[in-house]
A and B are shown apart, each in its own frame.
Chain A
Amino acid sequence: MPEFATLASPYSMPAALHGDVTDSEEQTQTRALNQFLAGVELKAFKIAQAALRHEDDSLDAVQDAMLQLARAYSKRPPEEWKPLFYRILENRIRDMQRRRTVRGRIMAWLPVRGEDDDEEFDPVAQAPSLEPQPVRRLELDEAVGALEQALGRLPRRQQQAFLLRTLEGLDVAETAHAMGCSEGSVKTHYFRAVQALRAQLGELYT
């Protein structure tokens, strides 16, 4: 059987005709999981990127979260997937940040290097685009950049609460589950995040 046979199910004969109810349930579940992951992957990447500020690390964190959700929790009801997925993602992000801290301490003892090997300078990528951009797009670019910078300056828990509530649209209870804290803590972190962002970006929005 091919590895992704379950993904090809919409184009094959319906499982009910074979009388295999279990297989049909698995195909339905796989389709639901695929739909769920496709729906959260971009936002999850942005959340990981806001915390890790490194594209490859963010991709790794999202991939690990997807794998763990699929392996360990795919049998759970789909309405539980979102808080579980973000809980796993937050754990992965925290692990990576800890590893990075340890690596930083070790590297501090080593001779200083000129540049980070992973960040090679690409003049083509760094060059400004020659395409004329409308004013609205430029304003949006500025707004995105300013918000991302302001988010980067927030304490981790405030950043986490703000992104889960605002970008992903989780309610307070789901955010509390994803963050592993009480609903009261979520409200506090979220309120402080909004206050801090408004203090920095207020004139941009009002």
Chain B
Amino acid sequence: MSPVDEDLTQFERNARAILEESARRIDGRTRSRLNQARHAALAAAGTRRRAWWAGFTLMPAAGAVAAALLVAVVLWHREPAGTEPLALDGQHPAVEDMELLTDNDSIDLMEEWDGSFYEWAAAQSDGGAESNS
């Protein structure tokens, strides 16, 4: 070890002694607050452990609730397979409207609209159906 290292070691020893003396001189109020902080930290560690176990024991219940919610969401959004969109009462389905607009015959028919004839024909048709049944 060189003389420089020996000096450095002595310097470090002196510095450490002085710093430790400085730490020993910390007043009672500060020591008390540090003590309170330490107890708060220990309590927090205990709380964290309890919370972890509590979370673990609640896991099955949380899983059941999540599964129930999932089933409810799936059922809510699910549509019966193979069914077509229903037309509202008194309205034609959209496909029928498109056929009416694109079919020239139908447009001609609409232009030569004879309401009374069709009402009579419908009444005859209904009456015939009822009489058949």
Contact = CB atoms under 8 A, between A and B. Distances in A.
Interface of A: 3-7, 26, 30, 33-34, 37-38, 41-43, 45-46, 55, 59, 62-63, 66-67, 69-71, 74, 140, 143-144, 147-148, 162-163, 166-167, 169, 194, 197-198, 205-206
B34 A46 contact: no
A7 B46 CA distance: 10
Nearest to B22: A144
Interface of B: 7-8, 10-12, 14-16, 18-26, 30-31, 33-35, 37-46, 48-49
A162 B16 CA distance: 10
Contacts of A42: 23-24, 26, 31, 34
Contacts of A74: 45, 48
Given A70-B44, A144-B25, A147-B15, 9 more contacts: A45-B23, A45-B26, A59-B30, A66-B40, A70-B48, A71-B45, A71-B48, A194-B8, A205-B11
29 contacts: A4-B39, A4-B42, A7-B39, A33-B45, A41-B37, A42-B24, A42-B34, A45-B34, A46-B22, A55-B30, A59-B34, A59-B37, A63-B34, A63-B40, A66-B37, A67-B37, A70-B48, A71-B48, A140-B18, A147-B15, A147-B19, A166-B15, A167-B16, A194-B11, A197-B11, A197-B15, A205-B10, A206-B7, A206-B11
Contact of B19 (A7, A41, A59, A163): A163
A38 B20 contact: no
Contacts of A71: 41, 44-45, 48
Nearest to A44: B34
Contacts of A169: 16
A7 B8 CA distance: 43
B18 A66 contact: no
Given A198-B11, A205-B10, A167 B39 contact: no
A4 to B, nearest CB: 6
Contacts of B35: 41
A6 B46 contact: yes
Contacts of A26: 46, 49
A46 B23 contact: yes
Contact of A30 (B18, B25, B42): B42
A45 B44 CA distance: 20
A30 B125 CA distance: 92
A46 B41 contact: no
B48 A66 contact: no
Contacts of A62: 34, 37
Contacts of A6: 42, 46
